[in-house]
Structure 1
Amino acid sequence: TYYHFMLGYQAELSGDLATAVEEYTKVVIADNTTAYVRTQLAGVLQKLNRLEEAETLAREALSLEPEYTRAMTLLAQILNNQKRPSEAIELYEKVIASEPDNDNIRLQLSILFASTGEFGKAGDTIAATKDTLLKASGYYYIGVLATGLNEAKVAEKAFKHSIEINPMLDSSYLYLGVLAQYKGKNRKAEKYYLKAMDIDPKNTSVIEKLSQLYMDTGKTEKAIGMEDMLSALEPDNPDPPRKLGLIYMNMERYEEAAAEFRKVLVLEPDDMEFRYYLALALNEMERYEEALEQYLIMNERDQDNTKVLLNMGYLYSVLDQEDKAAEAYEKLISLTQEVPDYFVYLARNYLAAGRDEYALRVLTQGLEHFDGHAEMHFTKSIYHEQAGEFEMMVAHLKRTLALEAKHAEAMNFLGYNYAEKGINLDDALDLIKESLSLKPGNGYITDSLGWVYFKMGKHKKALKTLKKAHGIVKDDPVILEHLGDAYLATDNVPKAIESWERSLEIQKLMGKKEGSFERVVKKLKLLTGQGL
C-alpha cells in the first residue's frame, strides 16, 4: 500500500490528478482502516469537483477517526462548496474546539458567518484571532461580504477595523471609498482612494475608481490624468484609450480623441465601434478623406451598415464625388424604403450634380410613400426653383410650412424668391424675419433680409444688413453681388465694383460659375465699359 500511496502522492504533486485518484483508491481498497489516505483522496476528488464522492470519503475518514481535524476541515470546505454553510460552520466550530489556536480556521469560520449574514458572530470569531495579519484580512472579508449583502454600516466598520490593525491594507481603503461614494460623500471617497494609491500606486482598480469619481464630479482633467496612468500601467489594455478618446470627444478635443482611438485600433483592429468614433473625430476636424478611409474599412466588413453608408454618402458629397455619394444613398434606399431622409439626401445629391431628372424621379418616388414629410416637399421646391417652375416651387414651400410651421429654410427660401420676383414683399419681409428669429446670426438668411430691403427701395437699410451678412459669410458670391448692388444704389461706385469683382473671383476659384456670374459681368461692363 505504501508503494501505491507514494505513486499517488507523486502524481498529485505533478498535477496528474486522475492517476492520483487511481493510486489512492488502491490503498483505500487494500486498507479499510486508514483515515489519512481517505482524506487525501477526498482532497483530490474535491479538486476535480467530484464533491459527492469527496464528501463520502471524508465522512468515512471521520467515522474511523472522529476527532481527525484535517478530515473535519476538508469536509467543511466540501460542504461549503455545495452551498451548505450551516453544516460547514458546525464542523469548523468542532475544529476550533480541538485546536483553539488555529487562526486559519477562525478566519474561514468568520467568513462563513459573514456570508450567512451573522456579522456579530463573524466579528467575535475574528476578534479572537491572534495573528494580526489574518485578523486584518478577516475584517476585510467581512466588509466585502457585508457590502455584497447591502450592509453598508457593518461593512464600513469592518474595513475600518482592518486598517486599524493593518494600515497598509489598500483594498480596505478602496472599499471605504466605494461606500463613501455610494453615499454621495465624494470628498471622503477621494481621500480614501488617494490613500489606497499612496500604499500601492499601481493598483489599477483604485485608479479606475478615481477616474470615474473625477468624471462624475466634473473634474475632467484629473480623470484624464488617471486614464493616462492606466494606459502607462497597462499598455496592452484598450480600455483606457477608449475612455480617454470618448472624454476628449465630449470636450471637442478631436485631435486628442483621434490619437486615442488610433491606439485602440492598434490593439484591436476589428473594433468597428471605435473605428466609427475615429471617423467622427476626423470628420469634426474636416479631415474628410481620412474619415472616409475609415468608413470604407467599415463598409468592407459590413456592406449593409446603414450608419456607415449614410456617412459615406455625406463625405462623398463634401468631397464633390457626387456619383459615389449617389451610390451610397441608392444602396441605403435599396436596403430600406422606410426612411424618408434617404430619398431627400439622394435627391439633393442629384440636384447638386445637375442631374435634375434623377432628382425628380427620386422625389416622386419618395412623395408616393411620404407625402407628409416636410423636408421632401422642401427639396421638391428646390427642384422646381432650378427648373424655373415658380408656381410649383411656391406650392411645395407652402406645403412644407403647412407640415412644419417653423421650417426656417422654407420661410427664407419663399421670402427670398418673392423678393427676387419683386412680389409680395411685405410677406417676404415677414417670412424672412421669422426665419431669422429661428436661426439668429445665419448669414444667408441675413442676406435675404438685406435683399428684401433692397427690393423695397430701403437701400441704406439694405446696405447695413448686407454688410452684416458679408461679415458672417465672407466669400459667398451671391452675397457679394447683392452687396455691390447696395453700394451702387447708395452711390458708392468703387465699393460696388470691388464687391462684384470679388464675387467673380470667388466663382472662378471655386471652379463653379453660378447664375450670378453673367449678371455681374454685365453690371461691371455697364458701369466701367470694360469686358472681363
Structure 2
Amino acid sequence: MGRPGIPNEYKDLVILRYLSMYQYAGKVTNLPTAIQKIRHLVGDNPNTLLKFAIVCNESRHPELAAQLLEDVLGTNPDLETAYYELARAKLAMQEPNAAIYVLENARRKFGATYGTEFLTGFAYSIQEDYTNALRFFTSAEIIAVTAANGRTNELLCFYLGSAFERLGNYPQAERYLRLAIDLRPDFDEALNYLGYMWAELGTNLLQAKQLIERALAINPNHPPYLDSMGWVLFKLGRPKDALPYLQKAALLAPFVDPEIYDHLGEVYFSLRQYSKAASAWQQVLQVKDTPQIREKLARALKRLKPTK
C-alpha cells in the first residue's frame, strides 16, 4: 500500500514549511533539491509552482525560478504574477532583453501595469538606455499615483532620480532622490546617491557629507559609500582625511573598481605622492582605458623625479 497523499488544503502549508526549513537552516544552496522533492510530492499545480518560483527568486536561484515559471505559463498563461516573476528572474540572470520580451507579452495580455512599466524601466537601466528607462519609470509613476492609494514609493523615486541623473537633469534627479529619502529616511542607497551626485557637481558639499555619513552609519563597510566619503572630503579640500576612506574602499571592493582607483589617484596626486598616484591610475587602465586616465597618468609620471 502506498503512502497516503497530502490533503489539498494542507499542501501549501507543508510546502512553505519545508522551504522555510531549508532557508532558515542556512541551506539555501540545497533549495533546488528541496523544490524538486516537493514538486514530486505535490504535482505540477501552476499556483504551487508559482510559489516555488517566488521562493527561488527571493533565494537567488533565478535559473530555477525561470524554469518553473516557464512551465507555469505554459500551463496557465493567465497568471499575471508569473510574468513579473519570470521577468525578475531574467533580470537577475543578466538577460534584460528576455525580460523586456516577457513584459511585452504581459502588457499585451493585461495592459500596462505598474509591474510591466517598472520592470521594463529597470531592464533598460541595466542596458544603460536611460532614455527608455525614464520613459517606463514615468509610466509606472503615473500608474502608481492614479491607483487607489494614489502614492508613489521610494524605490520608484530612486530609479527615477538615477535615470534623471544619468541623463544630466540634476534638478529632477535631486527632486526624486530627496523624495525617496523622505519616504524612507534610512534608504542608504538614495542617501549615498544624492550625496555623491552633489560631490561630483561640487555643490552642497557639507550636506553631501552628511548624507553619506548617514549611509555609512547603516552600512559602514560598503565600498561605494566609503568611496563617496573619500571623494566628498577631497572636494572639501581635505585629501588627508579622504585617503583612509578610499584605501579602505579599494581594499574591500571585490574587484578593481576604476572609480575608486581614479579617486585614489587624485588624492595621492594632491598629496604629492606621485608614484602612488601613477600606480592607482595604472590600475584603472587595466580595466578601463580612457584618454582622460592616460592623461592623468602622464601628468603623474612627469612629476616623478628621475632616479639615479
TM-score by length of 1: 0.47
Distance in 2 between residues matched to 1:234 and 1:492, nearest whole Å: 77
**Aligned to 2:211, which of 431, 434, 452?**
431
Match of 1:384 among 164, 188, 212: 164
| 2:28 pairs with 1:254 | yes
Instruction: Report the counterpart of residue 355 of structure 1 in structure 2.
Output: 129
**5+ residue gaps, structure 1:** 1-232, 508-512
1:451 aligns with 2:231: yes
**Matched residue, 2:292:** 519
Matching of residues 116-515 of structure 1 within 5 Å: 242=15, 244-272=18-46, 275-276=49-50, 279=53, 288-332=62-106, 335=110, 339=114, 342-371=116-145, 372-373=151-152, 374-475=154-255, 476-507=257-288
Q: Which amino acid aligns with 2:121?
A: A
2:239 touches 2:267 (CA, 8 Å); kept in 1? yes
Q: Output aligned runs, 1:45-64, within 5 Å.
A: none
Cα separation, partners in 2 of 1:489 and 1:308, compared to 1, 3 Å: farther
**1:261 and 1:277 in contact (8 A); partners too:** no
Output aligned runs, 1:23-102, within 5 Å. Answer: none
Amino acid at match of 1:480: Y
Is the CA contact 2:223–2:250 (under 8 Å) kept in the aligned structure 1? Answer: yes
Q: Deviations over 1:206-229 (max 9, x none)?
A: xxxxxxxxxxxxxxxxxxxxxxxx
How far did residue 429 of structure 1 move?
Answer: 0.8
1:370 counterpart SS class: helix
Deviations 1:179-235 (A, max 9, x none): xxxxxxxxxxxxxxxxxxxxxxxxxxxxxxxxxxxxxxxxxxxxxxxxxxxxxx978
> Secondary structure, in 3 states, of the residue corresponding to 1:449?
helix
CA distance in 1, matches of 2:2, 2:291: 64
Q: CA RMSD in A?
A: 3.4
Distance 2:165 2:212 in 1: 18
Q: Extract unaligned runs of 5+ from structure 2.
A: 146-150, 303-308
**Which residue number corresponds to residue 176 of structure 1?**
none
What do the CA deviations read for 1:490-509 (whole angstroms, capped 9, x no partner)?
Answer: 344444333333334345xx
Cα distance change of structure 1 residues 402 and 488 upon mapping to structure 2, 3 Å threshold? same
Distance 1:277 1:521, change over 3 A: farther
CA distance in 2, matches of 1:489, 1:435: 26
**Secondary structure of the structure 2 residue equivalent to 1:270:** coil
TM-fit CA distance, 1:477: 2.5
Distance 2:212 2:89 in 1: 30
- CA shift, 1:283, in A, is 5.1
Provide the rounded CA distance (Å) in 2 between the counterparts of 1:291 and 1:497: 46
1:139-161 per-position Cα deviation (integer Å, ceiling 9, x unaligned): xxxxxxxxxxxxxxxxxxxxxxx
Q: Whose Rg is larger?
A: 1
Tell me which amino acid in the other structure corresponds to 2:69. Y
In structure 2, relative to structure 1, the CA distance for the partners of 1:250 and 1:456 (3 Å cut) is same
Residues 258 and 429 (structure 1 numbering): CA distance in 2 closer, same or farther, change over 3 Å?
same
Contact 1:415 1:432 in 2 (8 A): yes
Q: How high is the TM-score relative to the length of structure 2?
A: 0.77
Closer, same or farther in 2 for the Cα pair 1:410/1:342, shift >3 Å?
A: farther
CA pair 419-253 structure 1, distance change in 2 beyond 3 A: same
For 1:370, the aligned partner's letter is A
Taking only the aligned residue pairs, the percentage that are identical comes to 23
**Residues 277 and 502 (structure 1), Cα distance of their counterparts in 2 relative to 1, 3 Å cut:** farther
- CA–CA distance in 2 between the matches of 1:246 and 1:404? 29
Report the alpha carbon displacement of residue 422 of structure 1 after superposing the two structures with TM.
1.4
The Cα of 1:267 is off from its aligned counterpart by 4.8
- In the alignment, the residues of structure 2 paired with residue 440 and residue 261 of structure 1 have an alpha-carbon distance, to the nearest angstrom, of 36
Where relative contact order (Cα < 8 A, 6+ residues apart) is larger, the structure is 2
Matched positions, count? 288
Residue deviations 1:443-476, cap 9 Å, x none?
2222211110111121122111112223332323
1:333 Cα deviation after fit: 5.2
**Cα-to-partner distance string for 1:350-408 (whole Å, 9 max, x where unaligned):** 12223333223223323333354143333222222111222232233234344444433
Distance 1:248 1:366, change over 3 A: closer
Q: Separation in 2 of the partners of 1:449 and 1:234?
A: 65
Partner residue in 1 for 2:148: none
- 1-side partners of 2:24 and 2:45: how far apart? 20
Asked if 1 retains the 8 angstrom alpha-carbon contact of 2:285 and 2:293, the reply is yes
Residue aligning to 1:510: none
Residues 325 and 419 (structure 1), Cα distance of their counterparts in 2 relative to 1, 3 Å cut: same
Deviations 1:79-117 (A, max 9, x none): xxxxxxxxxxxxxxxxxxxxxxxxxxxxxxxxxxxxxxx
Describe the SS at the equivalent of 2:224: helix
User: Is the Cα contact below 8 Å between 1:344 and 1:376 reproduced in 2?
Assistant: yes
Kept in 1: contact 2:72–2:82 (CA 8 A): yes
Contact map agreement 1:245 1:256 (CA 8 A) in 2: no
